[in-house]
Amino acid sequence: MQNFFNHTAKYPKFKSKRSTVQSFKVKNSMDRLRINNNKLKIGKHGFVKVRGLRNITGKILSITVSKTSNKWFASIAYDKVIVKPLPKTNKSVGVDVGILDLAILSTGEKITKLNSMQHEKRIVKLQKSLSRKIKGSNNYLKTKDKLAHAHLKLRNLRNDYTHKLSWKLVNEFDTIVIEDLKISNLLKNHRLAKSIAHASWFELRRQLKYKSDWYDKKLSIINPHYTSKECNECGFINKELSLANRSWNCPSCNTVHDRDINAAINILNRRDDGDSLVIN
């Protein structure tokens, strides 16, 4: 507390074995970490049975073991991992992210968002049930575990969906162009904040960034200014276009545009602009 009042540390958190996140880290020194078949040696704890081990060749640096929703997870950090680059396709794509559709490609393909309504309803039901329990009782703790498990399952579903989308893009295209969206500013819109957060736009960008680096692909990030309002045929900017207009007719060249596909094409066309940032 003294460090906090001296402005040299953050406010201290109460630590409890019962409620806080439990984790520990083991560094690989003196051959303390090894993988043998489906067993993982973690320091002095010996060999532990695990599921989901991936066949990765490289030097193990450390293992972080953490507990989430009564389940234990091991995160393994490797060094000197060799990743084979994917074959070149000589294709480029512009990607416009959205709420109704998670991603709209310049090819005209629209990738729908994950349907998580059933899982969200279950979370709401469990939250209501938890609020009616006596805090600290056995039924309270049981419902709390069920709620944590429901949150974990929904998070895993969203991560899996985003990973499959990022892999599809990296596998099919050599150059991927996306917008430099300021997610923190967009979340200030309280009407759309929940939908934007659930869409995981920043997570998609993060995955595209490191997968492009792994597989020798190129990721370009461009300025999002007027990507939806600019006609990709003649360059006319429709400043009166609102978010409710999903299609519009260009008054200059009379081209009918799908708002999202037009934005994706403009994103692709700006990949060679001076304002674009090439990640890899």
Catalytic residue numbers? Answer: 96, 179, 260
Q: Are 165 and 182 in contact (CB under 8 A)?
A: no
Q: CA angle, 127 as apex, 126 and 129 as ends, to 5°?
A: 60
Q: Are 40 and 48 in contact (CB under 8 A)?
A: yes
Q: Are 230 and 236 in contact (CB under 8 A)?
A: yes
Q: How far apart are CA 245 and CA 243, in angstroms?
A: 6
The residue count for the chain: 280
Residue 9 in tokens: 């540390």
Q: What is the DSSP letter of 197?
A: H
Q: Quickly tell me which residue has 């599809």 as its tokens.
A: 168
Q: How far apart are CA 171 and CA 85, in angstroms?
A: 10
Residue 60 in tokens: 């193990």
Q: Are 163 and 203 in contact (CB under 8 A)?
A: no
Helix axes 117-131, 138-172, angle to 10 degrees: 160
End-to-end CA gap in the chain: 45
Q: How far is CA 190 from the centre of its chain?
A: 21
- Per-residue DSSP letters for 111-143? EEPP--HHHHHHHHHHHHHHHTSPTTSHHHHHH
